[in-house]
Structures are given as structure tokens and as C-alpha cells.
Amino acid sequence: MAERSALIEGTVVASHGRHCMVETPDGERRICHPRGKKSQAVVGDHVLWQAAPPGQGAAGSIEKVLQRRNLFYRQDTIRTKSFAANLDQVLILIAAEPVFSESQLARALIAAEAAGIRPLIALNKSDLAESFARAWERLLPYRRMGAGQHYGVLPLSLALSSAVDRAALMQQLTAKTTLVLGPSGSGKSTLINLLVPGAAVLTGALSQALNSGRHTTTSTHWYWIDQARTSALIDSPGFQEFGLQHIAPMQLAACMPDIAAHAGHCKFYNCTHLHEPGCGVLEAVKKGAGADGASAIRHKIYSDLFAELSHTRY
């Protein structure tokens, strides 16, 4: 029987289907396959892997996925998509154009809250003055949440003011692992290329290695953004159709900080904030989007989601 080689620690830095690229602490990278269903890993996972026995190829095997600090995922009625594990924050990049879907933004933020991961919002293309002003206005409730140490919105002009944006982003990203999400066209590639010169070439090579030579862009990638390899960005597709089936309707309010802020004032402890008398949230909505009120649009997103998550529960 061939002697089993030692277990080596590593971090998953790319994944495609069942194939992973694992990086050791000293920066060496190796393609690994999971040993069984239990060792199915996602980008950001810390794993124990093993080299193949001599003469059996270069690919290693993932023997164990170490306990996760968190997992960012979405879930529709039939499928779960895991984006990445062990994150410090999720950066949601939207832009003045194309016009972003507030429902999609809200869903991603709720998923982050539910997983206990800090969300950040950045609004790109500030050079498109008129549409930027409109988008900035739409983001008022989210900018307000920023005042309470929550979200805040970082204005960017990635294609134009690169040095300024680079500094502003590095301030947020240094010494952290950050997942970047955003709708198509918001500037994700521009952002990655600004922080990781040569990223496109890197990604192409990784995708080819993992996908047996065929080029693909539908995988998740980890990039170091500093020499010391303490700050990382993870680029992942799949911002659309952000299912939240893993969240119970009664858990929703706690995942929306501006709604939660008023939920403590409700008459009933199990208030749904939809129709009850003496509801603190409904009273805040009546006051409007002022400083002590709540946004009607945000409450509409809340009630639509509440209905969606209630209907599909069985």
C-alpha cells in the first residue's frame, strides 16, 4: 500500500465545479479535488490537503474543510449557491449607470447581515453627474444607516480618479478579506484591475488550469491586494436572483438595520410590522424618510420579502 503523505494546510483561492486551487501559507498553489462530499470546499475555506501518491499526477486531494467562521450564500427554492467563506466584509459595487435594482441590493445586504458579515456599499461612476445624483438620492436610507456605524456609501469614479479611489478603497480593505459583488456593468473588473494589476491574465490562467484548458469566467477568484498578503479581494459572479429562502420571515426585520431600529417600540413582541396596531415600524414609515422616520420603499421591500419567504415555506 502506498504511504500516505502528510496533511498540509491551505486556503482555497479559486474554484470551478468540484476543482479547487489551494494555496499554502508560503504561496505555493496546487489543484485539488475534494475527497468526498464532506470535503466540498468554497473559496476562502481553510483546508487540509494531501499530495497525490508518487506517479498519480500533480493534483492533490482535499481531506478536510476546517470549521468556517462564516459562509456567504444565497438560496432559492431548489438550489444553494455558496459564494465564499471566512469573510470580513462584503463590498457591493453598484453604479450610477446602469440603474441598479434596489431590491437586489437589499437582498445582498440582508444575506450579509444574516451571515454576520459586515456589508459595504460603493457607488461608482460619479463622473456621470446627473444619474449619479439620482442614484445617490435613492441611496439615502443606506447612507443614513452609515451614520449608525452600519453601511455608509463610498462614492467612486473608478475609470477616472484611480489614485484617489485606490486610496479610499485601500482604507476599507486593508488587512481584511472582502467579497466583491455587483450587477453587470457596475465596474467590478475595473475595480479589481485597479487594485490587482494584471488580474485579467491571472484569472485567465487560473480558469484554464481548473477547467482543463477551456476559458471560463464563471468562477470565483481570490486576489491578494498587498505585498504582505494580508488583504484579499474575492471576485464572484451571481448577484442576480438573490434568493433568501434560508431566512425565516420573522428574522427579516433584524437583518434590515433601519427597520430593526424601530422594531423595539412595537406593542406586540411578535409584531410582523405589516399591519399591527401600535407598531413602531409602521409609525416610523408614516413619518416619512426624515431623520426619525423610515423609508416607505424600504418597508415595501421588507413586506414583499416577508410575503415571498412566507409563501414558499413548507
- Out of ligand GTP, Zn ion, none, what residue 279 binds, judged by CB under 5 to 8 A for its kind, is Zn ion
Could you say whether residue 159 binds ligand GTP (CB under 6 A)? yes
Asked whether the beta carbons of 90 and 236 are under 8 A apart, the reply is no
Instruction: Among 82, 86, 104, 186, indicate the residue that binds ligand GTP (CB under 6 A).
Output: 186
Q: Is 188 annotated as a binding residue?
A: yes
Instruction: Among 11, 86, 104, 157, indicate the residue that binds ligand GTP (CB under 6 A).
Output: 157
Rounded to 10 degrees, what is the CA torsion of 240, 148, 190, 97? 60
Could you say whether residue 131 binds ligand GTP (CB under 6 A)? no
Asked whether the beta carbons of 282 and 273 are under 8 A apart, the reply is yes
Cα separation, 174 vs 190, whole angstroms: 19
Q: Is 258 annotated as a binding residue?
A: no
Could you say whether residue 231 binds ligand GTP (CB under 6 A)? no
Q: Which is nearer to ligand GTP, 190 or 245 (CB)?
A: 190
Q: Is 27 annotated as a binding residue?
A: no
Question: 19 has which bridge partners?
Answer: 16
Asked whether the beta carbons of 298 and 106 are under 8 A apart, the reply is yes
Q: Whose CA is closest to 105, among 133, 147, 76, 140?
A: 140
Could you say whether residue 44 binds ligand GTP (CB under 6 A)? no
Q: Which residue has the cell 486556503?
A: 11
Could you say whether residue 182 binds ligand GTP (CB under 6 A)? yes
Asked whether the beta carbons of 104 and 241 are under 8 A apart, the reply is no
Which residues define the annotated binding site for Zn(2+)? 266, 271, 273, 279
Q: What is the contact surface with ligand GTP in residues (CB under 6 A)?
A: 124-125, 127-128, 157-160, 182, 184-190
Which residues define the annotated binding site? 124-127, 182-190, 266, 271, 273, 279
